[in-house]
Structures are given as structure tokens and as C-alpha cells.
Amino acid sequence: MAFSAASRSDEQIFSGRESSSSESEYDYDFFWRKDTPLTKILDIDTNTKDSHVARDERLLRLTGSHPFNCEPPLSLNYQQGFITPSHLHFVRNHGAVPVVDESEIMNWTFTVEGMVDNPLTLTLKDMIRDFPQYTTPITLCCAGNRRKEQNMVLKGKGFNWGASGVSTSLWTGCFLWDIISKANPSKKARYVWMEGGDDPAKGPYGTCVPLHMVRDTERMIMVAYKQNGEFLSPDHGKPLRCVLPGIIGGRSVKWLKRLVVSDVPSNNWYHYYDNKVLPTMVTNKMAAEEDHWWKDERYTIYDLNLQTITVYPENDERLIINETNESELYEIKGFGYNGGGKRIGRIEVSLDRGKTWTLCDIDYPEDRYREAGYVDLFGGTVNVCDRMSCLCWCFWSTKVEKKLFKSSKDIVVRGMDISMSAQPRNMYWNVTSMLNNWWYRVAIQPGDTADEVKFEHPCIANKAGGWMDRVKAQGGDILDRTWGEDDEDDSGPKVKKEVVDEDLEMMINPEKRDVIITAEELAKHANKEDPWFVVKGHVFTGTPFLDEHPGGVQAITNVAGEDATDDFIAIHSEGSKLLMKKFHIGRLETTAVSAPTDAVTEITPTLLNPKVWKKITLVKKEIISHDSRIFHFALESPEQTTGLPVGKHLFIRSKGPDGKLVMRAYTPKSNHKQKGILEILIKVYFPRGDIPGGKMTMILENMEMGTQIEAKGPTGEFEYLENGNFLYNEKPGRADSFLLLAGGSGITPCYQVIAEIVSQEKDNTKMKMFYANRALGDILCYEDLEGFKKFTNANLEIDYCLSETPEGWKGLTGYLNKELWDQYIEEQKKNGEFMVLVCGPPGMVGAIEKLVKESDLDPSRVVYF
């Protein structure tokens, strides 16, 4: 029995929220507990292509600001109960979220093509009107869930997920099979390809699903347009997506545009190079070099695998256990899910590392939907009663006496499904680190007092902590029989394995691992032309990437012949580390190479030295807006100047609260001629909810007056000289005019250049600046900038631009678009030779890079600070 669209008015069918007549007949609360969405456009998104998407700030971002990939905090996810509110549902986006106008939702079209007799082009309105509609609870889960645990053993492809990349919603739409069968597929057809309307790096996201799965009503594979009774939100596929229950989330294609029936699997890039579990012996290197692994359909994953995760005790939860309460019961609880619709038959917990097990209670809320029979909900029929399959998560719990925690080292949990397949004890490491489902282990550690215990989860999605971090720091082998704890009564030989240094493993070429480089050889390359440098005892050549290095040539030449380990590790991403393999030459004969020295050197007239970290002291913090500060640092002596050429940056480094070194490049606000002082203007990235703050900006924000930080430099590719003359990548050049494009706190390099030009009386180089900010209060250094215009030789115009304009605003509004860009470039061409200087947030810089690419401008005339 399906909900019949014909029985409803258009208004009822197409309104976002269904006012079901059955609300009064049924216990509506049981099916759906309405909540208030806590979404808004967040600051972090405003400068990205997702600036139109409202989000819940409690979600933990796993890949920075963009693209948006997030999971809810584990306990918060669990506390929501069976149905996850849409705004707390995990999100996995490979690129920007398509913009779909509200008024166009019903006209959204998609096609059914390929091996069909009757190709179709349907609108969403057709889909709702012409096919039976259903509403059903479905758990979606990313194949990368729990990937961080594998990355901690050895970094593979893919970013860190904690254990909460899984959520359950009530999805409304029709069977995918109903649509495909209407197109009349060929008997030879074996797969349905699905393609989205987004446009990530490798083209529209697409993949496929075997046709037999689509046909199987027990699997309930759907095309859905509502989630929890509302039209889909942008992040979850507005206005239409596929939902494939029991199958890894990667196949539930969002923003659905094309369905192609075929006898072979999808040829989409994402189908080949994503969502596979390659055999465990395939290394990162093999996967990068040997394409056949990715083209082998045997390693493509469809069904999810069996998973159980402990939520309580939480990470860092503490319990005082003494004679008064040791016989009290503690409820250990969590959730589980499985693939292919298979029910989890049992879930067991062990407090003695798997010697004995306790059977847990399991609650399958999905069964209550099954027992309810047919119910109309949100414009579709709840039809769980039509199937035996389990397409949702379940909740498990067991109670144990608290005193057991005093003698136990850990709580492990495992599930077993009705085919007696059980979760493995050992991790199956694989290059994509997908479907990680080894026993979920919560370690039990002594607390701060003799009667306290504390619990540790394996790791935390987006920050340090958990037992894996601790064990690694102690030099233990996470994969050994005691999870690296080395504390055991466990008899039998213990072979302590060498601790894998993930960073190093990513960077070195195994064939060069044992090639010995002598200290003399290294010394010969302590030059700018052919620089070699050392990271973690291994030697790399910087020569092949001098021109392309995003951090500029100097960042490499500064460390020629030296140990650059600390600086390198502090600033480079995993991706950059992987690239280093190509430049690995061998292992350094001894570790005797000198690290940048901290020895007290004699005070020189200028502070900066490219090879020595110098200490500067915080003497003043000027608060200039809610999040912008000028930090004043005293140099080594009141007579000293920085020695920083105009337009260049310096490095600042310090240890963060986790003990790890953080290093960032800044262009100061103070002038290179100023004595005894260095002023750094920054925007502080404060933590919001569970989103951590900016590492360096929070170190600076929390610095006590009188404490020291280290500075080194100069670095950077551009240096302004005088009268329009400059050096760019050490080559001389000249410009009659500069177009300065700045955003937010990226004003500082432009500020330096302007200040220098106006202060040189004979220099009347033309300057046009575009300065973008969000709101009026974000504009930095307004008085100074306006003051620069008053210098007699000043040839300066400034366009201020805001994305949120106050009443009466006379400046520009919005962002730097193509029209404005063309206008600026035309203007510049009239001035003669010109240079474009750019410094702003990544979204702005990306947009400018695109404009440059699409224009006929010589890219070597553009400097990105």
C-alpha cells in the first residue's frame, strides 16, 4: 500500500511540510519528534562557495572551512535518539553545494538514459505525482567512519573521521526501481549509474549501484526529496537525491541529475578512485603508482559492514569508585549498524580483553515502525512493515558493577550479525582506510586520585586525545596484542615493533631509504641554486620545485644544507608531505647537521636572520575590534629594526598547548624603519562550539605580557624597492601602477607597500586598492589608509567593499566579481605596466586565481602574498 498522490491536493503534495491527516490517528510523536533547527550562515562559510548554506555550528568540521565535511560530536549524536535532526546529520561534500532557488525546486529535472527502451526526462514534480511515495527511516553512514583510527596507525588516503559519521533520517520519495522500470531497462543491464549536479575537482560526482539491488524491495533504494518532513537542505542534496540504505553513504548521490542504465559499472572518476577497500598489503605508494587496483571491481564496496561503537563511557569521562559505590551498576551503551539489511543478532562487551563476554540488550526502534503497519507521513506511506530487512542503526546497553573498572584495562565491544559474521579483533588497514570496524576499545586509565578511573576512546575526530595518541606518545604499537599498552599479565613473547613515523613514511621513497648522504655532500648543497635540506634525518632536494613552491623560493633557500624538520612539519599538510617522496634523496649519514640554533647570538642592528630563530617579547596587545588585535613585540634592543624588506614576511613560531610547534608567516603592520618594535595585526580565530580556534592566533591571544615568541626571516617572493621598482622571485621588475586586492586581515602586505610608496617623496607610483570585508566593523586600519591619501605624492584610490552593508553605505557591495575585475584591469592597462598584489582569505584568493586564469593577464604580473 503506497501513499497516493492523487488523493492529495497540490498544496499538500508540494508543501515542504506535510500536514498529514493521520496525525491525530497515530502517536505522531513516536514517528517524528520535531525540533528547532539551529542553523544560520556561519562566518567560516562566508568567504567560500557555500556562503548560501545555513549550518549548525556544533558539527565538527573535518576538512577546514571548505568543502564541508563534518560529523556531530559522538555523544550529541547519540542523545538525539533514533532520528537525527537534519541539521545534525553528518555531511560529506566533495565540492561546493549547488545553489538551487526555492522557486525552482519542483522544476528540477533529471534524466533516465542508457540501456533503456524509454528514456525519460522528469521533473521533481513529475516524480512526486507519477510514482508511489514512501517515508521510511534509513541510516546513512560514510565508508570513512572511524578512519582516524587507521590514519593514526599509518596515514592513508582520506581525511580523519571519528566514530560519528553516521545518522538516521526519515526520507520521503519513491523507489528508484519504479523510475527505472518505467524506462524499461534492457535485459542485459546490470548497473544504474547516478550523477549529481555538483562540480567538484574531478567533474560531477557520480557512482553506480548493481541493478539487482535496486530491484530488491527489501533494500528500499530510493530517490528522495524530503528529510524528516522538510524539503532537502542544500547540504543533503536539495532538491533531490538517491538514498541507498545499508550501502555506504558514498553511493547515495546528492543533487541527482542523471540516471544511466548500463551493463558495466560507472566510468565516473569518483567511482574508480573512491569508495574501495584495497587489499591490506597495497601501500600508499602502490596505490599511487599502480592504477589497476582502482579499476578492479572486486574491491568496490557497496554494503556497509558490521559496526558497534561505545558512546558511554565518553572520552575523558571520570568515575570515583570506592567502597561506598563500587557495587553500583554503570550502564555501558552505544549503537550499532550493519550493511545489506542484515540484522545484528548479538552485541557483546568484554572487560578482560576478549577472554569472557557479556551479552548486551539491543533495541531496534526500526521494529516499532515495522509493527505500526501503514501510516501516512510527510506525503509518503511508512512501509517498514513490507520488509524484514534492518536498514537502521540499533542501540545496545549493558550494566556492570563499577568495581570491575578498577581491575579492568579496557571495555571492548563487538557485534555479530544473523549470518554469524563478527567484527574482527584486528584492524584491516587499507589505503583508503574505509570500513574500519575492528573492536571498538575504550581504555580505562587511572584518574587523578587513587579512587578515580578515566576512560579513553581511541581518538577524537578533530582534535588530539584518546588512547591511540597516548600509546603512540609512549612508543607503543597500537596493533599489538595489548593495543600497545605493554602492561600485561598476558604471557607470551612480546616483540616491540619499531614505532612507525607517519610523517616520515609519507615523505620518503622506500628505494632511497638506505642511500647514505654524507655531511660533506649536504654541505655542497647549502646554496640557493641547488638547495638540499633535511627533515627527520632524511635529505630532500628543493631544486625541482623552487619555482612552484607555494611558500616561495626563499622558504627553501633559507634552509639549504640545514635541518628544517620543525619548520617543515609545523607548516605542511599531509598532501604536501606525500609529494616529498619525489624529492627524497636518501638518509643523512649522521644527525650531526645543525638545527637552527637557539644559542644567544650577539645583538645585531637588524633582528631578522633567515637561519636563526630570534626571541621577541610581547609588550602590548591593542584590541581594535571584536576579533582583531595588534600585538606589539619588543625587539632585542630599542635601537634594533626588523630588517624586513617591504612586502616580505617573517615567520613566528611557538609551542601550542598540545606541545606541538606551530609556525605561521606574517607581514607586520609596523614599518621596517621603526626601531625596537614589531607590530603584528591579526584576526583571531576563536573556537566556536567544538570547532577549534586558529592554532597560532589562539597562542597569541592567550600570551601573557612579557612572554616571548620566536621570529625568523625574511621570507616571501616579492620586495618593493622604490619608484615602482621591485624584485619578484629575486628578478627585478618595474610597474607604473599597482592594483592591490586585499581581504580582511590580508591588508598588511598591501598596507606595507602603500606606506612605503607614500613615504618616499619622489615616488608617485599609482595605486588602486580594493579592500573587501564582511561588515563595517571589520575594516582594519581605516584611519591610516585614509591618512596615506593625504601625502603630497600620494596617487592612491581605495574602494572599500562590504558583503553585509549598513544603511547609507556608499562603498561597493558584495564580492570581487568579473565585471569589477574587468573594469580594474582596463583601468590599469591605461596606466602602463602594472602589477596585481593579492592577499586575502582562501575564498577570495581562489576567486581571483580563477579570474586571472580566465583573463588574458600574464600570471607573472600577479603576486599572491
The set of catalytic residues is 142, 274-275
- Rule CB under 6 A: say whether 225 interacts with ligand MTE: no
Of 249, 415, 724, 743, the one binding ligand MTE by CB under 6 A: 249
Among the listed residues 369, 390, 389, 392, the one whose alpha carbon sits nearest the alpha carbon of residue 381:
369
Distance separating alpha carbons of residues 163 and 170, to the nearest angstrom: 21
**Nearest to ligand MTE of 142, 535 (CB atom):** 142
Shortest spacing between CB 248 and ligand MTE, in angstroms: 7
Of 56, 149, 198, 756, the one binding ligand MTE by CB under 6 A: 198
Q: By CB under 6 A, how many residues form the interface with ligand MTE? A: 19
Q: Is 419:342 a contact under the CB 8 Å cutoff?
A: yes
Q: Is 452:178 a contact under the CB 8 Å cutoff?
A: no
- Rule CB under 6 A: say whether 196 interacts with ligand MTE: yes
**Nearest to ligand MTE of 205, 718 (CB atom):** 205
Shortest spacing between CB 270 and ligand MTE, in angstroms: 8
- Rule CB under 6 A: say whether 250 interacts with ligand MTE: yes
- Rule CB under 6 A: say whether 221 interacts with ligand MTE: no
Strand pairing of 318-320 and 452-456? Answer: antiparallel
Cα angle at 28 between 22 and 29, to 5 degrees? 175
Using CB under 6 A, which residues numbered 65 to 104 contact ligand MTE?
89-94
C-alpha cell at 399: 550494566
Shortest spacing between CB 100 and ligand MTE, in angstroms: 13
Alpha helices in 15-146 (DSSP H): 28-31, 43-46, 74-79, 124-130
Shortest spacing between CB 252 and ligand MTE, in angstroms: 5
If DSSP codes are grouped into helix, strand and coil, which group holds residue 661? strand
- Rule CB under 6 A: say whether 205 interacts with ligand MTE: yes
- Rule CB under 6 A: say whether 255 interacts with ligand MTE: yes
**Nearest to ligand MTE of 194, 471 (CB atom):** 194
* Stretch near ligand MTE under the rule CB under 6 A, chosen from 175-183, 253-261, 350-358, 693-701: 253-261
Shortest spacing between CB 204 and ligand MTE, in angstroms: 7
- Rule CB under 6 A: say whether 252 interacts with ligand MTE: yes
What residue type is assigned to position 304 of the chain?
L
Across the beta sheet with 109-114, the strand order is: 120-123, 109-114, 256-262, 191-196, 206-210
- Rule CB under 6 A: say whether 146 interacts with ligand MTE: no
Distance separating alpha carbons of residues 857 and 863, to the nearest angstrom: 12
Of 222, 253, 382, 682, the one binding ligand MTE by CB under 6 A: 253
Shortest spacing between CB 339 and ligand MTE, in angstroms: 14
Q: Which run of H or E residues covers position 739?
A: strand 737-743
Of 142, 735, 837, 862, the one binding ligand MTE by CB under 6 A: 142
Distance separating alpha carbons of residues 425 and 414, to the nearest angstrom: 8
Using CB under 6 A, which residues numbered 23 to 62 contact ligand MTE?
none
Give φ, ψ of 581 to 5 degrees: -50, -40
- Rule CB under 6 A: say whether 231 interacts with ligand MTE: no
- In the bound state, the residue with its beta carbon closest to ligand MTE is 196
If DSSP codes are grouped into helix, strand and coil, which group holds residue 300? strand
CB atoms within 10 A of CB 341: 18
Cβ-in-10-Å burial (0-12, 13-18, 19+) of 790 comes to exposed
**Nearest to ligand MTE of 201, 599 (CB atom):** 201
Measured between its terminal Cα atoms, the distance across the chain in Å is 63
Of 96, 140, 535, 753, the one binding ligand MTE by CB under 6 A: 140
- Rule CB under 6 A: say whether 828 interacts with ligand MTE: no
- Rule CB under 6 A: say whether 236 interacts with ligand MTE: yes
Residue 142 assigned ligand-binding role:
yes
Distance separating alpha carbons of residues 467 and 313, to the nearest angstrom: 14
Q: Which residue do the cell numbers 612586502 mark?
A: 647
Shortest spacing between CB 198 and ligand MTE, in angstroms: 5
Cα angle at 613 between 516 and 630, to 5 degrees? 140
* Stretch near ligand MTE under the rule CB under 6 A, chosen from 102-110, 248-256, 335-343, 521-529: 248-256
Among the listed residues 564, 391, 472, the one whose alpha carbon sits nearest the alpha carbon of residue 152:
472
CB atoms within 10 A of CB 387: 16
Give φ, ψ of 232 to 5 degrees: -55, 145
Shortest spacing between CB 369 and ligand MTE, in angstroms: 21
Known binding positions:
142
What are the residues binding ligand MTE (CB under 6 A)? Answer: 89-94, 140, 142, 196, 198, 205, 235-236, 249-250, 252-255
Q: Which residues are annotated as a binding site for Mo-molybdopterin?
A: 142
